[in-house]
Amino acid sequence: MSLLPSRFIYLCLHFLVLYFQLQESQQSSADFRFYIENHTRNPDDLSRKQVRIYQLYSRTTGKHVQILGKKINANGDDGGKYALLVVETETFGSHIRIKGKESEHYICMNEKGKIVGRPDGRKQECVFIEEFLENNYTALVSAKYKGWYLGFNRKGRPKKGSRTTQRQQEVHFMKRQPKGRVDPLQEFRFTTVTKRTRRARRLKPNPKRN
C-alpha cells in the first residue's frame, strides 16, 4: 500500500510532461502556419525577386495583354511596346506583379472586380497568383479577392473578377517571348506550336527508311 502514493505521483508527473510537450508542439505548428500566411499574403521588401519580361497571349482574342496606362486590354500585337510585361515574381510562392514596360503601370483589381492600371503596384490588389492548368495555359487569380481571375472577353475588354471562373477560356493565358527576341537569362523555355509546325513534323522524312 505504501507504493501507491509514489506510483500515483509518478503517473501525474508523466502526464504533465506529455501535456507540456503537446502544448509546445501545437504552438510551433501555429507559429509555422502564421509564418507561411504572413509571407504569402504580405511578402516583405527584403525578399529576393525574380524579374522576367514576356508577353501574355490571350486564348480568347488570339492577341496579347497590353497595359496602356489606366486602361488594359488583350488586343496587343506580338512584339508591341505596350504588350511587353515586366513580371516580378516573389521567391516565396507564385505571387506575381505585372507591370507594363512602356507605361510603367501595374495590372490591379479593385474591390468591384474591375481591372485597372496603377502606377504603384505595392498594394495587395496588384498581386496575382499563378495557377498552371492541364491544358498548358496559365490562370491568374487575385491574391486579395479569392476566386476572382484576370480575364478578357472576345473583344479584348477586361471582365469583372466576380464573373470569372478558372474553367473559362477568358482567363487562360500563355507566356510568350516577344517576336524575334530570346532572353538568355530565362529559367524556362517558351514554345509556340502552330498548325504549320505540326504539319512540318508529320512531313519530316524518317532516316531509318533510307
Residue 173 near residue 140 (C-beta atoms within 8 A): yes
What separation in angstroms does the CA of 46 have from each of 11, 90, 98, 128, 184? 50, 10, 19, 19, 26
Q: How many CA atoms lie within 13 A of 116 on its CB side?
A: 12
- Which residue ranges make up each domain of the chain? 41-176
What fold characterizes domain 41-176? Answer: Trefoil (Acidic Fibroblast Growth Factor, subunit A) (2.80.10)
Which amino acid is located at 108 in the chain?
Answer: C
The pLDDT-based confidence of 40 (bands split at 50, 70, 90) is: very low
- pLDDT tens for residues 184-209? 444 444 444 455 544 444 444 554 54
**Which residues pair with residue 73 across a beta bridge?**
66
Query: Against a cut of 0.75, is the pTM above it?
Result: no
